Chains A and B, each alone.
Chain A
Amino acid sequence: MRYRVEVFVTLKPVVNDPAGLTIRGGLHTLGFDSVTEVRAGKYLVLTLDETDASQARARVDAMAKQLLANAVIEDYRIELEPVGEPVGEPVATGDGSA
């Protein structure tokens, strides 16, 4: 199955976020005074082919731990949705035919 996986990487709450503070300042300048906090982060979209959703989630979790997020300063959240069978490849039907 092909999956579309969204990875949200954010700074841990204890980590100062200069970019977020600067964006908040900009919003205040525009008159959006109700904004008390802005946290900036990264948004990654991965498309991958895995046998099932739990396998896909486990793979992306491993990717996040090794590379996509830095555990010293960042947290991450994964959201996953199936987007159909891989295109252009034979689909196994279980009886040996494609």
Chain B
Amino acid sequence: MKTGVVVFPGTWSDRDCAHAVLDVLQEPVRYIDHREQSVDGLELVILPGGFSYGDYLRCGAIARFAPVMAAVADFANRGGLVLGICNGFQILQEARLLPGALLRNASCEFRCEWVHLRVEQSNSAFTLDSRPGQVLRIPISHGEGNYFADAETLDAIERNGQVVFRYCGPDGRVTADANPNGSLHNIAGIANARGNVVGMMPHPERACEPLLGSDDGLAIFRSAIHALARVPA
């Protein structure tokens, strides 16, 4: 799986993503500078977490216009696999590659903690290896992960099965208590209609080895490998 990890000024999770793919899964990785204008030759593009451009104006608002993003949008629209994690999720929304927006956490606090995610569907490129109802333990680390979409959009993504992860308790029950940031419908991650683009607030790259406390995040990267094997590029 030829993977590219985009690095914007202020990105902080690029090395962790590369470590998960290269060192844990033994798949090739290269870093993509935000000024590059092509992602040709890659099979997976990861937009990692961080504070691109200082999160000025809005999270992801400036990064969305970085030179590399036109190529990423083309790649996504051609069916290329794109995973946006945390700030990467925010960037995908600003770029309108995923619906909705991420508001300030309802608590107004930055939340850095372990959460449980219930897998809602196994059709996206990043959930092929999971089964609906499965619970993953993966950490979050964000101040603005409060998923919002207008009622019509929310209804559409629910109906289309585009909600891929919801915050839940260890037993898989989706409750208000398990919601760390006020996200509507406890949404932690969504896919586009085609299922090749996924954005999520939790950090699967930080849960890829037992030493880190969980390796549940690996299923997400492994799914991408299997999605590529299934559909010829």
Contact = CB atoms under 8 A, between A and B. Distances in A.
Interface of A: 11, 14-16, 18-19, 22, 42, 67-68, 70, 72-73
A68 B57 contact: yes
B105 A18 contact: yes
A18 B111 CA distance: 14
A70 B150 contact: no
Given A14-B150, A67-B65, A72 B100 contact: yes
Contacts of A68: 57
B103 A18 contact: yes
Q: Give the interface residue-count category, chain B.
A: 20 to 34
Most buried by B among A16, A68, A70: A70
Contacts of A73: 101, 103, 148
Contacts of A14: 150
B148 A16 contact: yes
Interface string B66-97: 00000000000000000000000000011000
Given A72-B101, A72-B149, 18 more contacts: A11-B103, A15-B103, A16-B106, A16-B182, A18-B104, A18-B107, A18-B108, A18-B182, A19-B104, A22-B108, A70-B94, A70-B101, A72-B93, A72-B100, A72-B148, A72-B150, A73-B101, A73-B103
Interface string B148-164: 11100000000000000
Contacts, number: 39
26 contacts: A11-B103, A14-B150, A15-B103, A15-B148, A16-B106, A16-B148, A16-B182, A18-B103, A18-B104, A18-B106, A18-B107, A18-B182, A19-B108, A42-B57, A67-B61, A67-B65, A68-B57, A70-B58, A70-B61, A70-B94, A72-B100, A72-B101, A72-B149, A72-B150, A73-B101, A73-B103
Given A70-B101, A72-B101, A18 B58 contact: no
A60 to B, nearest CB: 15
B179 interface: no
Contacts of A16: 103, 106, 146, 148, 182
A18 B94 contact: no
Contacts of B149: 72
A59 B57 CA distance: 18
Contacts of B62: 67
